């Protein structure tokens, strides 16, 4: 155990939690360009359009961003997922279930590590994830924390 300037004990759990956050962040940053790269490549090849129900709601006709794939019709979406899985395999990215997106897995791992770090540091900060998230501008404050 080390002590800070104010004699606040820094425990091994705190150090491990901090290390895990940085490792998870590095993992996410490593995976992101690979996954987003093949997702964009697939969208560029497929040139999918918004399904009729979303088009009627005023959504743009072309889907050019992976964040908008939920707007595809079911058939196009299944093709997109199949192609993403093929590209994931080519990129040698492991997931426990082939239906999982490696980037989403990495982001979830990072979220869990960050939350554990916040909770581990609560004796020093006197903040919990719930306190921060329920505050004014909660999500922005949580991300800063």
Given a contact cutoff of 8 angstroms between Cβ atoms, the answer to whether 41 and 90 are in contact is: no
Number of domains in the chain: 1
Give CA–CA dist 122/117, Å, rounded. Answer: 9
Query: Residue 117's pLDDT is what?
Result: 96
Q: Is residue 1's pLDDT more than 60?
A: no
Query: Residue 56's pLDDT is what?
Result: 72
25-46 pLDDT, tens digit per residue, is 999 999 999 999 999 999 999 9
Query: Residue 61's pLDDT is what?
Result: 83
49-86 pLDDT, tens digit per residue, is 888 887 777 777 889 999 999 999 999 999 999 999 99
Mean pLDDT of the chain: 91
102-133 pLDDT, tens digit per residue, is 999 999 999 999 999 999 999 999 999 999 89
- End-to-end CA distance of the chain, in Å? 23
Query: Residue 4's pLDDT is what?
Result: 53
Angle 123-127-129 from CA coordinates, rounded to 5°: 120
Query: Residue 59's pLDDT is what?
Result: 73
What domain range includes position 134? 2-144
Q: Residue 57: what are its φ and ψ, rounded to 5°?
A: -85, 0
């Amino acid at each position: 155990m080390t002590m800070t300037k104010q004699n606040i004990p820094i425990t091994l759990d705190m150090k491990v939690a901090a290390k895990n956050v940085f490792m998870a962040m590095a993992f996410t940053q490593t995976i992101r360009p690979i996954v987003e790269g093949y997702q964009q490549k697939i969208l560029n090849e497929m040139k999918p359009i918004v399904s009729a129900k979303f088009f009627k709601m005023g959504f743009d006709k072309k889907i050019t961003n992976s964040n908008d794939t939920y707007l595809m019709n079911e058939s196009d979406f299944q093709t997109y997922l199949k192609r993403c899985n093929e590209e994931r395999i080519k990129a040698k990215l492991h997931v426990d279930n082939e239906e999982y997106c490696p980037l989403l897995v990495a982001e979830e791992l990072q979220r869990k590590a960050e939350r554990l770090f916040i909770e581990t540091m609560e004796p020093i900060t006197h903040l919990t994830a719930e306190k921060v998230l329920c505050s004014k501008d909660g999500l922005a404050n949580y991300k800063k924390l």
